Amino acid sequence: MTSQRTSDSQAPPKEQRFAVRTWVASTYFAEGYPYSIVNSLAELIFASLGASLGTVGLTSLFHLPWNLKFLWAPLVDQYETKRRWLLGLEVALCVTLMGAAWAASRSLPLGVLAAMFLALALLSATHDVTIDGFYLEVLDEAEQSRFVGIRQLSYKLASLLVRGPGVVFAGLVGWRFGLLALALVMAGITVLHAKILPRTEVAKSNVGALLTGLFRPRWFVGVASVAVLIGLQRTFHVLDSLRTHFGAPLGRVPVEGWVALLLAALFGGFVFLSRNPSPRRESPYRAAFGEFLAQPRAGVILAFVILFRSGESFLQKMKWPFLRDQVHLSLEQYGLANGTFGVMASFAGTLLGGYLISKHGLRRWIWPFVIAQNGLHLLYVLLAKWALEGQVGLSTVTAIISIEHVGEGLGTAVFTVFLMRCCDPAHRAAHMAIVTALMSVGFTVAGMASGYLAQALGFVRYFGFSFVVTLPSMALIAFLPHLNGRRVAPKDAH
């Protein structure tokens, strides 16, 4: 395997650094772009097309592919090159976005649009896996740390473009032409990537082997079984009968409960697939998952990844309701404080964090950066107390939000670098998908409980609780591996 890598002791020339910055920025912009379309626009589009509130709420299920992407991530490492995966997925995203533009009409059933958004979600989640794997494939460890800030900046700029100008343009011309414009932007990104992405990887297996593996007899048996069940349902109304007997108790289980059960079952399957790989026939799944669990202190890594974003999730979910109801901030003021000054502060924190980690190492900065991220939750305890006393002005709120975002940026930098060090060189895409999916699960579960806790505790105690939730993840730092660098496979050694 050839790779355009540079040693830590010799900096690459300016032309090469500029080329790397360009493709890093463009790929992570491309990663955040379809993610924001699926997770920020779906509820707006469905609501404007007349969907019920229940249906609009169910659009949150489009996020499931990001929770489950570790299930198919090994395919990205096993077949073709990540560059080909990336370009192929971007072409598919362009086509699907155009299909969504066609489906965004009141004359078509909402189910057609839902199918398009589900396809977008699956393609986008796989696209994320590919970009993360490509980043780890091309850059050495020092460069991976150095460009963390550019990654986060580009990702957030994509989100701002979709949620800002994208929504405004769609409001002027309608969702059909708005989505078509977004598809054209995606097409431009695809053309750019076809020209600038470096070629550094040799394909392990071609797409023909992938298709052969997918179209095995057992898959046809599964599809046939589903078809038979659908036929039985239509003929004998099986589901109606089950609903009559079991519908009442099952109906009391909220959608979030079923999602949590599904995620727990899939995580159990992940552990099962990882145990005792067969020496005679080792599948890419067992190889990838087994290697991940074989690294030192894998249990500590899993716990740290799941818990790390929990406190931030509690804080972020209730920040706007608190500022709206207790501080009486308008939406425009919140947009200025959080969406402008806060975002700029987050960019600065992430860029600074990535630079310092690449210069001095992760071990030196992990404690200061994590404390900066989590300790600043306590500022909201003070803010909640001041709000009760009526002593809060817009300048104070803006300053606290900006400081909090700097801490968030530093925490993002250190967490991203640690996640990259947990990825074995032979399974870069799969391992990155595992850790980011687990991070997402922890964030989602914590967010689901936030409203109930804020209502029960009150905002002063709630923000104190959001800090207490961060303590277990900070306690695990003392036991984390890879703080001095990731393990290097023999074939990767130079």
Distance of alpha carbon 348 from alpha carbon 351, whole angstroms: 5
Distance of alpha carbon 392 from alpha carbon 16, whole angstroms: 49
Residue range 355-368: mean pLDDT, rounded: 87
Residue ranges per structural domain of the chain = 11-215, 216-255, 295-494
Report angle CA 181, 182, 183 to the nearest 5 degrees: 90
pTM of the model: 0.63
Domain 11-215 sits in CATH at 1.20.1250.20
Position 12 scores a pLDDT of 53
Tens digit of each residue's pLDDT (9 = 90 or more) over 125-150: 999 989 988 888 888 777 777 787 78
Please determine, for residue 237, whether its predicted confidence score (pLDDT) is greater than 60. no
Confidence of residue 291 (pLDDT cuts 50, 70, 90): confident
Position 51 scores a pLDDT of 75
Tens digit of each residue's pLDDT (9 = 90 or more) over 426-461: 676 677 777 777 777 766 666 667 777 888 888 899
Report angle CA 487, 489, 492 to the nearest 5 degrees: 115
Residue range 388-412: mean pLDDT, rounded: 88
Report angle CA 343, 160, 30 to the nearest 5 degrees: 115
Position 290 scores a pLDDT of 72
Please determine, for residue 18, whether its predicted confidence score (pLDDT) is greater than 90. no
Tens digit of each residue's pLDDT (9 = 90 or more) over 87-113: 999 999 999 999 999 988 767 788 888
Position 438 scores a pLDDT of 75
Output the average pLDDT for the chain. 76
Instruction: Write out the chain in H/E/C secondary structure.
Output: CCCCCCCCCCCCCHHHHHHHHHHHHHHHHHHHHHHHHHHHHHHHHHHHCCCCHHHHHHHHHHHHHHHHHHHCHHHHHHCCCHHHHHHHHHHHHHHHHHHHHHHCCCCCCHHHHHHHHHHHHHHHHHHHHHHHHHHHHHCCHHHHHHCHHHHHHHHHHHHHHHHHHHHHHHHHHCHHHHHHHHHHHHHHHHHHHHHHCCCCCCCCCCHHHHHHHHCCHHHHHHHHHHHHHHHHHHHHCHHHHHHHHHHHHHHCCCHHHHHHHHHHHHHHHHHHHHCCCCCCCCCHHHHHHHHHHHCCCHHHHHHHHHHHCHHHHHHHHHHHHHHHHCCCCCHHHHHHHHHHHHHHHHHHHHHHHHHHHHHHCHHHHHHHHHHHHHHCCHHHHHHHHHHHCCCCCHHHHHHHHHHHHHHHHHHHHHHHHHHHHCCCHHHHHHHHHHHHHHHHHHHHHHHHHHHHHHHHHCHHHHHHHHHHCCHHHHHHHHHCCCCCCCCCCHHHCC
Tens digit of each residue's pLDDT (9 = 90 or more) over 328-359: 887 677 767 876 787 788 888 888 888 888 88
CATH of 295-494, one of 1.10.10.60, 1.20.1250.20, 3.90.1150.10, 1.10.3720.10: 1.20.1250.20
Q: Which two tokens stand for residue 280?
A: 């005679």
| Percent of the chain residues past pLDDT 90, beyond the cut | 22
CA distances from 367 to 141, 322, 476 (A): 20, 29, 11
**Locate tokens 């431009």: which residue?**
188
56 vs 27, more confident: 27
Tens digit of each residue's pLDDT (9 = 90 or more) over 211-221: 555 555 555 55
Beta-carbon contacts of 447 under 8 Å, excluding residues fewer than 6 positions away, are 313, 314, 316, 317
Confidence of residue 180 (pLDDT cuts 50, 70, 90): very high
Please determine, for residue 251, whether its predicted confidence score (pLDDT) is greater than 50. no
Please determine, for residue 484, whether its predicted confidence score (pLDDT) is greater than 70. yes
Distance of alpha carbon 143 from alpha carbon 175, whole angstroms: 40
14 vs 301, more confident: 301
Residue range 174-179: mean pLDDT, rounded: 89
Confidence of residue 57 (pLDDT cuts 50, 70, 90): low
Confidence of residue 263 (pLDDT cuts 50, 70, 90): low
Residue range 199-206: mean pLDDT, rounded: 69
Answer positive or negative: Cα dihedral of 268, 272, 274, 275. positive
Asked if domains 11-215 and 295-494 share a fold, the reply is yes
CA-based nearest residue to 120, from 106, 101, 107:
101
